Amino acid sequence: MTHTRTILAVLLATVAIACTQNGGHIGRLFGSWVLESATCDGSEMTMPEDTETFWSFQSDLLRVQLADKHHTAENYFGNFTELPDGLLRLDFEHTDDNNPDGGGQYAAPQWMGFPATGIFTLRIVSCDSKRMELIWQNKEGQLFVYKFSKTW
């Protein structure tokens, strides 16, 4: 009976610690967000036809996914850092042997107005457990507003 209790305690402890990062905080951005709307200088942006854009945050990794109605998806990866004063820094400057700087799976989401490569600082206008709004101004002075809803 003691052996069964020990095994049960170990299994329970393993499950409990597997659910969070160190210290128990997984961050307010954690999870998947679907892009509801995007504007550039107040005009609605045209997204690729019959697709949805998802941003998924975990640890310091960002996956941007462009998925079509047949559930075929293109995935792009970068890093993110939530900075003080409501800023969000995105880093799309990674490389590997198969993907040049700003290319392949490390490219920024160009359909959202970003250049293929770079480090971009966005302002978090609002973020709660259901909705998030981000703004970004490019080098040419265009103002982009992105509105997301949480999927999980």
Per-chain mean pLDDT for the chain: 87
Structure tokens at 41: 């200088």
More confident residue, 98 or 61: 61
Q: pLDDT class for 127, splitting at 50, 70, 90?
A: very high
Is the per-residue pLDDT at 8 higher than 60?
no
Tens digit of each residue's pLDDT (9 = 90 or more) over 21-70:
455 557 899 999 999 999 999 999 999 999 999 999 999 999 999 999 88
What contacts 148, CB < 8 A, 6 or more positions away? 33, 34, 35, 36, 55, 131, 132, 133, 134
